[in-house]
Every structure is written in C-alpha cells, then in structure tokens.
Amino acid sequence: MKTKLFRVVNNRILFQCHSCKSRRSVGVGPQVRRRSIRCHKCGNVTQCNLNRRLKPRETQAGRCVMITNQGKEIEIDLHDVSMDGLGFDLPISAARALRVQQEVQFKCSWNPRLLGSSRFVVRSIQGRRVGAEKVNKKWS
C-alpha cells in the first residue's frame, strides 16, 4: 500500500491515485489524521496522511535529543519540521517527563543547523505524539 501526504482544506482533500492518476475530492472528518482511500477507477488503495497546517511542513525522519528546561536529555523520533514548529514521538518511558506549555530545546546530530539553538514550547501531547511551536527568543 502506497502512503502519500495530502493537504486538507475545509475538511476536504483532492485525492489523486498513485497508480492511474485519477482525481476526486474526498471529505475527511475534523479529527482524522490518516485515512485509507480506494481509487474509484482502478481500485488501488492509498494510505493518506492528512496535513491540516496552514504553512507547509517538511517530513524529517531521524533521532534527536530533546533537552527540557530542567536539563534532562531525552532521545526522540523527529517526524516533521515547519517554519513554526515540529512534530515528534517520545519514548513511552519519557511520556511523564513532558507537559503542555513546557519549554524545550533540541540537538540534532545528523543536521546540527536543522533546529539550531531555537527554543520550542510544547503545544500538544497525544499519546507519544508531541507538537511543539518555535519561540522567537534565544535559549538562555
């Protein structure tokens, strides 16, 4: 099954089949983040990841280190980066070490300039998945 990213506008996506390239508009619920869609022409199934952000985000997969404002270092799985923030997964053992509104910083050994010395504020936590927003001030 092929996986593809689709942008959501007004709870709809413009689905395009990866095999036959046919298109159609498909409605998606407000809480849906992933959905499998079967092509109405060829029958192939595509796993659709849904992007609801106003600004584009770039998929970045890799292991990074998150540093809490108490100095604790936690290894995380980075998933996506945008101009305003990032999304990542926490290990289950570290889920209680983080809370919404907490400030954090990241070190990325495979691309040190990707996140630089920027600070982030945790905006959402859903299970292991975390979203953080960039703060304009520098880390002190």
| Rounded Cα gap, residues 33 and 28, in angstroms | 9
Residue-wise pLDDT tens digits, 51-89: 887 766 667 778 999 999 888 999 999 988 887 889 899
- Apex 64 CA angle, 57 and 70, nearest 5: 110
The confidence score (pLDDT) of residue 57 equals 65
**Considering the entire predicted model, what is its pTM?**
0.60
Instruction: Enter the CATH code of domain 57-138.
Output: 2.40.10.220
Report the run of H or E that residue 87 belongs to, with start and end: strand 85-89
Q: Is 50 helix (H, G, I), strand (E, B) or coil?
A: strand
pLDDT at residue 140 is higher than 50:
no
Please list the residue range(s) of the chain that carry CATH number 2.40.10.220: 57-138
116 vs 131, higher pLDDT? 131
Residue-wise pLDDT tens digits, 80-110: 888 788 989 999 888 788 889 999 999 888 8
| Rounded Cα gap, residues 137 and 119, in angstroms | 7
